[in-house]
Amino acid sequence: MKIIHNIITQSLFLFVFITIIGFTACNDDDSKEVVTPSGNGVPEVNIFSPMKGGYETEISFYGSSLPTDLSKIRVTVNGADAVVKSSNGRIVTALVQKDTGSGAVKVYIDYGSEVKEFSFQQEFEYGFQTLVSTYLGDGKKEDLDGPIETARLKGPYRLAWGNDNELFIMEEGASPSTATNFSAVRRLSEGQLATLFTGQQTTVAEKMRNIVFSNNNNTLYVTNDKDANGTMGLGILSRSDNFSNMTALYTNNSVTTLTVAVHPITGDVFVGRYNTAAIMKYNSGSLDHKMDILSANGTLTDMIFSKDGKKLYISIAYRGHSILVADYDKDTDTFSNLKTLAGPAKVITEGSAVNTTGYVDAKGSQARFNNPQQIDLDDEGNIFVADADNHCIRKVAPDGVVTTYAGIGKSSGFVDGEASTAKFNKPFGCKFGPDGALYIADNYNHRIRRIAVQ
């Protein structure tokens, strides 16, 4: 098959663009359409636009006598195939793919027994961008199991990843549970959403607050706010019975447990206590006191160990609105050096509790959050926070510098797209997935959102 190679120079680029583009006015309005000549039947590609972008940027190629059969058109950027989306004979569109990089743009057109190749003097400039998309749910508040394309959620609150890309979603529900609004644990696996456990099944756990897996992913630890509803403080759902039955591990009417963390090396289980906020260690039906957090009650919304197990990070909402950090020595089973990494909280070693909220990107004590919820860590030690009442996702660097990672601070709504212009509505859950993307439980939007650098 003969390949005819046409190099379009910059001067010809401008000349052809000026001479072949015409504007045809509509009779009844001011709208205009770009029109190119039909040509002599030989395909021509003259220009493309835009010349810079990122993953899923749509490039338009303008020419004449182009095939409308997409199988006869191939587009490459930097040697990587773009996905050809449409052709009307004059304009071909194609989507740039992930990690394509910057480089030459080429179009290949099947023409009889030949392939016409078109290349351009101007290269495409690829830039990485952080994009927010909808992973699950369409915004309607409903517990609907089934295929990911049609399944629906009702106020997703916490996230956890299991085996083989299983995404576990905890819904907080009403207190007390009702027939139409109940706490639940649901699993998305192989494109299907299924409800595994609900607070309607038992009075033990009607107001679940947090979920986290054991190190082997066979046991799902669950905390329940017994002050709201249900008698359990800490319980488990097991893979052995498909996570369908709750077993209470700890019940005590005088202690309210809101969050739970598993040590990545030892597998030990720690919970966050609300009453005179503290960290406790679960031990055969009891909770052993390990570290005081505040000198008053405080809502510890989440906590997570560093991957080496040497640090514990804690998010606190009521009486703190901050991110805390403490050192942990597994050999002596002791915490030390508790401090506020970002936000105004005064931990037990620094003075009385505070309850200052706000939205400020800054370092350390100058930063402000409003109801920080679930947190997760990336490989560089950055902490990502679902800042619920600021309706955005925050990033806390190891040195305490806080920036907005996605969303518009204090502006609720629903918008997918660039992270800086995307909108959330009370994001409560925040976990990295196996693909490296950050998944968000967007509570009031009843969706799971996905944030990826592409």
Is the pLDDT score of 11 beyond 60?
no
| Bridge partners for 195 per DSSP | 186
Quickly list DSSP for 271-308.
EEETTTTEEEEEETTEEEEEEE--SS---EEEEEE-TT
Quickly list DSSP for 62-123.
EEES--S-GGGEEEEETTEEEEEEEE-SSEEEEEPPTT--SB-EEEEEEETTEEEEEEESSP
CA 454/CA 451 separation, integer angstroms: 9
Q: Is the link from the previous residue into 176 a cis peptide, with omega within 30 of 0?
A: yes
**What is each CA distance from 140 to 74, 137, 153, 236, in whole angstroms?**
39, 7, 7, 30
Q: pLDDT (tens digit, 9 = 90+) per residue, 318-369?
A: 999 999 999 999 999 999 999 999 999 888 877 666 889 999 999 999 999 9
- What is the set of domains in the chain, with CATH numbers? 44-126 (2.60.40.10), 130-453 (2.120.10.30)
Q: Name the residue with higher pLDDT: 136 or 229.
A: 136
- Angle 136-139-144 (CA atoms, 0-180°, nearest 5)? 65
Q: pLDDT (tens digit, 9 = 90+) per residue, 30-72?
A: 333 344 444 468 999 999 999 999 888 999 999 999 999 999 9
CA 83/CA 72 separation, integer angstroms: 13
Long-range CB contacts for residues 10-17, cutoff 8 Å, separation at least 24? 10/121, 10/122, 13/46, 13/47, 13/120, 13/121, 13/122, 16/46, 16/47, 17/46, 17/47, 17/62
Which element (helix H / strand E) includes 18? helix 10-20
Whole-structure pTM value: 0.81
Q: pLDDT (tens digit, 9 = 90+) per residue, 170-184?
A: 998 876 667 777 899
Which element (helix H / strand E) includes 5? strand 2-8
Quickly list DSSP for 371-434.
SEEEEEE-TTS-EEEEEGGGTEEEEE-TT-BEEEEES-TT-B--B-EETTT-BBSSEEEEEE-T
Is the pLDDT score of 1 beyond 80?
no
User: According to the model, what pLDDT value does residue 213 have?
Assistant: 98
Q: pLDDT (tens digit, 9 = 90+) per residue, 92-104?
A: 999 999 889 999 9
When pLDDT is cut at 50, 70 and 90, the band that residue 12 belongs to is very low
| Bridge partners for 71 per DSSP | none
The gap from C-alpha 84 to its chain's centroid, in whole angstroms, comes to 28
Contact criterion met (CB below 8 Å) for 193 and 186? yes
CA 213/CA 446 separation, integer angstroms: 23
When pLDDT is cut at 50, 70 and 90, the band that residue 202 belongs to is confident
Contact criterion met (CB below 8 Å) for 199 and 191? no
If we measure between CA atoms, which residue out of 266, 191, 263, 197 comes closest to residue 232? 197
Q: Return the number of other C-beta atoms located less than 10 Å from residue 331's C-beta.
A: 6
Is the pLDDT score of 22 beyond 80?
no
CA 45/CA 259 separation, integer angstroms: 60
Contact criterion met (CB below 8 Å) for 348 and 338? yes
When pLDDT is cut at 50, 70 and 90, the band that residue 9 belongs to is very low
- Helices and strands: H and E segment counts in the chain: 1, 38
